[in-house]
């Protein structure tokens, strides 16, 4: 008999072992403000006024790729041509990225505070023996600024990576898989990826892990804590509902408004795993 004559299914029924968090908009920088400020300033400097929605759309990607993705949008490309008389080139993208790096580094310390409920959620996970990973689309220098600020506030992941640590940034799952390797965690069913962007959700799905979105604190709502709190309640709920809908449409297995809900979601996932469910079978 040949091996191809047989097939079998092996089902993981253990608990969640690892939760991998994004940084900006998920763990720090309520509303994912720092990169947007730097991106929009970079376009404005070149005479191209992009909208907040355009600038935020590719959030979560490696930052040079993010600039390239915005420039590839039809409306932005047309605006660039009207200002510069030609399409943006690789040299233009490189130049914008070179400007973006120091600008982001200059403002990042002001946008690295831990988001409320993150510390408590992480403590609850650690109490259950769950490992904590962190990934970001930031480059090394920016990632280290955030890592140091978070450590000073008591948030220290077991392993952390940035886009420049792997061959492909998000939505490739390379960073998630590398965190799994570093912490010796498997199978993918035992891993949860948490993020605030559509790209984060796609990354988790591409990696075969549970993909959880956070709506109120991140890129899809796009407001700082004070701005969000000052909104009239119905308008605030409408903005969060829109963010929630985008993350659900991206394929998230679960979407929460804030990190306070995460321990309960992990309990739900543990219950699904006991039933033999997986990120592929759960709808």
Which residues are the active-site residues? 22, 63
DSSP E strand boundaries for 197-262: 210-214, 254-256
How many angstroms from the chain centroid is the CA of residue 45?
27
Buried b (16+ CB within 10 A) or exposed e, 206-231: bbbbbbbbbbbbbbbbbbbeeebeee
Q: Decide: 264 and 3 in contact? Cβ < 8 Å.
A: no
Q: Say how far apart CA 248 and CA 159 lie, in whole Å.
A: 28
Using CA atoms, how far apart are residues 15 and 31, in angstroms rounded to an integer?
A: 31
Tracing tokens 């592929």 back to the chain, one arrives at 280
State how far the alpha carbon of 209 is from the alpha carbons of 145, 153, 193, 253, in Å.
28, 28, 7, 10
Is the Cβ–Cβ distance between 61 and 137 less than 8 Å?
A: yes
């Amino acid at each position: 008999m040949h091996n191809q004559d047989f097939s079998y299914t092996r089902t993981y029924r253990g608990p969640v072992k690892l939760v991998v968090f994004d940084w900006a908009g998920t763990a720090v920088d309520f509303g994912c403000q720092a990169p947007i400020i730097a991106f929009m300033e970079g376009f404005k400097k070149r005479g191209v006024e992009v909208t907040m929605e355009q600038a935020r759309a590719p959030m979560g990607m490696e930052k040079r790729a993010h600039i390239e993705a915005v420039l590839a949008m039809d409306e932005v490309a047309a605006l660039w041509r009207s200002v510069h008389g030609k399409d943006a080139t690789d040299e233009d993208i490189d130049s914008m990225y070179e400007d973006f790096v120091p600008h982001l580094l200059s403002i990042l310390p002001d946008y690295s505070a831990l988001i409320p409920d993150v510390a408590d959620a992480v403590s609850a996970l650690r109490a259950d023996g769950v490992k904590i990973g962190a990934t970001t689309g930031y480059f090394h220098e920016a990632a280290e600024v955030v890592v140091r600020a978070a450590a000073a506030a008591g948030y220290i992941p077991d392993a952390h990576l940035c886009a420049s640590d792997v061959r492909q940034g998000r939505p490739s799952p390379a960073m998630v898989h590398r965190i799994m390797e570093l912490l010796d965690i498997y199978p993918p069913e035992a891993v949860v990826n948490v993020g605030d962007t559509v790209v984060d959700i796609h990354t988790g799905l591409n990696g075969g892990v549970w993909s959880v979105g956070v709506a109120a604190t991140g890129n899809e709502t796009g407001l700082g804590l004070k701005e969000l709190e000052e909104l009239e309640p119905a308008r605030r709920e409408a903005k969060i509902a829109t963010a929630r809908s985008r993350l659900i449409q991206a394929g998230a297995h679960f979407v929460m408004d804030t990190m306070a809900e995460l321990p309960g979601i992990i309990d739900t996932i543990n219950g699904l795993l006991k039933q033999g469910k997986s990120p592929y079978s759960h709808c």
